[in-house]
Amino acid sequence: MKQSKSKVERNNVENLIRRMLKKHQTPFMLIRRDILERQFKRFMKALPNVTPYYAIKANSHSDIIKKFARLGTCFDVASIPEMKQVLDLGVSPTRIIYANTIKSESSIVASRRKRVRFMTFDNEPELYKIAKHFPRAQVLVRIKVENIGSLVELSLKFGADHDQAVYLLKKAKSLGLIPLGVSFHVGSQAKNVENYLQALEITSNIFDEAKEQDLNLKIVDIGGGFPIQHFDNEIGVNFERMAQTIRQQMKKLFDRKVEFIAEPGRFFAGPAGILVTQVVGRTFRNNKNYYYLNDGVYGDFSGMIFDHCRYEFKTLRRGQKFLSALAGPTCDSFDTLSTNEELPELYVGDVVYVKSIGAYSCASATNSFNGFAPAKIIMV
């Protein structure tokens, strides 16, 4: 009898985990190169007119950056250390956008020295800093747009009111900078395509207004936020359908000469990651099985806090399932992963693993809270 696609995938993943357990101590995170490439190809097929700038904040492991560099992506960096890391791996400065709208003066100077001249801003004081320390820098104005339904809202902290966009772009030009266009971000893990459609319509109006005032804009940065599945049976996540709708809106609203870029992070790196942990202790409390793992919220489950993410916990052990709780290894009660999981009875040494955890997990893990180091990353 033919196995279902999901069952074949599960068997492949678990066989991979078993092989790695013979070579490595847990916790470890497997990053699958074939999935990185698959996500890149999915993006390029669904949005062929959009140049991806991988947001390395999602996962800045050097092998991931090198993989995407070979595939031809550009890169979104938010700091000078991120910029230096990408440049040191041989990426041209022309393939980098400094996509942080608030930069220190020393950072702008460093960006100039490293010849990364493409950057974002969202306020007038920022323009004066850029003009002073990086004349002729190329700039995009980031506007505030709706983040309705997104897991992480990003317009709370960044983005100019869109009715100020043309004024700011004209100010940029008057200061000797090169205004290229408009940037927006609809929030992370964005399942509501209407946010993109509305943002594109607002951006189109800005382009029209700018043209009337002798500003010929060229670039639209649609940000990131493209969603992935964290659960096998999760509904409401269909990137291809979302991309088709976005593509239609682009064609409807913009001239063919307009260039589109994006800043995918989670979409590129998330599905490639598998976190493998083991049970280091067990007890029975609050009328349920309680299992303590060797990784927690201060480590590679940090996305549960900083990314508001939920994960699907899986085990290599089969059998009848019972109400269970999972906690990390630290002495902090806050280090609790779930108090409502249906799991087989587990024993010390049993594996608990999570798929699609390659983004905003190890990236935000602490180095060694309570002396517990985050998981080792293994490229496979």
Q: Quick one: 241 and 327 in the same domain?
A: no
In a domain, 341, yes or no: yes
Q: Is the pLDDT of residue 1 over 50?
A: no
List the CATH number of the domain containing 14.
Answer: 2.40.37.10
Residues 205 and 90 in one domain: yes
Same domain, 237 and 299: no
Q: Do 151 and 116 share a structural domain?
A: yes
Task: Record the pTM.
Answer: 0.94
Given 204, 231, 264, which residue is the final one in a domain? 264
Last residue of a domain, which of 264, 283, 299?
A: 264
Mean residue pLDDT of the chain comes to: 94
Asked about 331 being catalytic, the answer comes back as yes
Q: Which residues contact 248 (CB under 8 A, 6 or more apart)?
A: none
The pLDDT assigned to 307 comes to: 85
Q: Same domain for 356 and 334?
A: yes
What is the dihedral angle through the alpha carbons of 303, 140, 148, 354, rounded to the nearest 10 degrees?
-20
**Residue 93 counted as domain residue:** yes
Chain segment 224-255, per-residue pLDDT in tens = 989 999 888 887 789 999 999 999 999 999 99
Residue that finishes a domain, picked among 222, 243, 264: 264
Same domain flag for 223 and 299: no
- DSSP 8-class letter at 334: T
Cis amide linkage into residue 27, ω under 30° from 0? yes
Is 235 inside any structural domain? yes
Q: What confidence tens digit (pLDDT) does each residue in 60-112 have?
A: 999 999 999 999 999 999 999 999 999 999 999 999 999 999 999 999 999 99
Domain hosting residue 338, numbered range: 5-29+274-379
Residue 138 is assigned to a structural domain of this protein: yes
Q: Position of tokens 């990236």? A: 363
Looking at the domain assignment, is residue 269 inside a domain?
no
| Cα–Cα distance, 205 to 207 (Å, whole number) | 5
Q: Are residues 40 and 23 in the same domain?
A: no
Secondary structure tally for the chain: helices H, strands E: 11, 18
Apex 266 CA angle, 263 and 268, nearest 5: 75
Residue of 74, 309, 331, 362 with catalytic role: 331
